[in-house]
């Protein structure tokens, strides 16, 4: 849905953003809006708070490998990048949150019961604020693929969920970061719900040897563009077409 405040920005073509209803992704059949969307103006409380800032981020929130007494199992990785606006300018002091499965492909969640062991030293959640240049960095474990019941013999490619906040909870965008050359891309409806293959690749990180640390961790780069021609595809985009 286009609000009066955003009509000056370039409209993202339909083939560059996932539709709210994508039959191959079964849960969208149940949760996609059945009625036309309506614009609701923000009220004062939505514009003024709650604020998300430095006081909300702990010293180990960005390092998912040091949040417990022991070390988690799996391949240690460094994920870094920049958050940019439609003109390529950095977006400073924005809250970036991640959540993911462990190395065995299991989430620490009551509804995840597939027989892959939980890791007592890995919770799978982190947060960080971008710096003045829009940069963020997480240290974590490469997540494993996992089965789900969307279709026959369905497995999700390895991925990390990203949530980006502005200065209020109403300013939130959600996407997923995938890893290069994953063999499961061909049958993943979430990845393939973005019609344009070029736009789809904006959700795929790139291996970064410069960020790789000898005998310790592999590096992956993932820039997130919030708007414009090079926008990263986000989940739950409003659509008034």
| Distance (Å, whole) CA 128 – CA 137 | 7
Which of 159, 178, 200, 202 is catalytic? The answer is 159
Is residue 151 flagged as an active site residue? no
Is residue 62 flagged as an active site residue? no
Which of 82, 106, 127, 156 is catalytic? The answer is 156
Give one DSSP letter per residue of 15-55, joined into a string.
GGS--S--TTSTHHHHHS-SS--------HHHHH-----GG
Which of 76, 135, 161, 227 is catalytic? The answer is 161
Is residue 80 flagged as an active site residue? no
Helix (H, G, I), strand (E, B) or coil at 164: strand
| Angle of CA points 181, 71, 220, to nearest 5° | 25
Q: Residues 181, 1: contact at Cβ < 8 Å? A: no
Which of 17, 25, 136, 146 is catalytic? The answer is 146
| Distance (Å, whole) CA 205 – CA 230 | 14
Residues acting as catalytic residues: 107, 146, 156, 159, 161
């Amino acid at each position: 849905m286009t609000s009066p405040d955003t009509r000056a920005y370039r409209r993202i073509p339909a083939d560059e953003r996932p539709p709210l209803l994508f039959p191959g992704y079964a849960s969208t059949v149940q949760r996609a809006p059945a009625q036309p969307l309506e614009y609701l103006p923000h009220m004062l409380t939505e514009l003024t708070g709650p604020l998300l800032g430095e006081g909300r981020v702990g010293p180990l929130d960005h390092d998912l490998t040091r949040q417990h007494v022991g070390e988690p199992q799996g391949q240690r990785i460094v994920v870094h990048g920049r958050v940019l606006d439609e003109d390529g300018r950095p977006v400073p002091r924005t809250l970036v949150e991640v959540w993911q499965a462990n190395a065995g492909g299991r989430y620490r969640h009551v509804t995840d019961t597939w027989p892959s062991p939980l890791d007592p030293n890995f919770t799978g959640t982190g947060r960080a604020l971008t710096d003045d240049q829009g940069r963020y960095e997480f240290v974590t474990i490469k997540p494993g693929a996992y089965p789900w019941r969307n279709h026959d013999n369905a497995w999700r490619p390895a991925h990390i969920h990203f949530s980006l906040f502005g200065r209020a909870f109403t300013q939130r965008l959600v996407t997923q970061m995938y890893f290069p050359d994953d063999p499961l891309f061909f049958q993943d409806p979430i990845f393939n719900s973005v019609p344009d293959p070029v736009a789809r690749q904006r959700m795929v990180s790139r291996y970064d040897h410069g960020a790789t640390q000898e005998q310790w961790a592999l590096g992956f780069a993932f820039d997130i563009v919030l708007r414009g021609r090079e926008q990263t595809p986000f989940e739950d985009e409003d659509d008034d077409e």
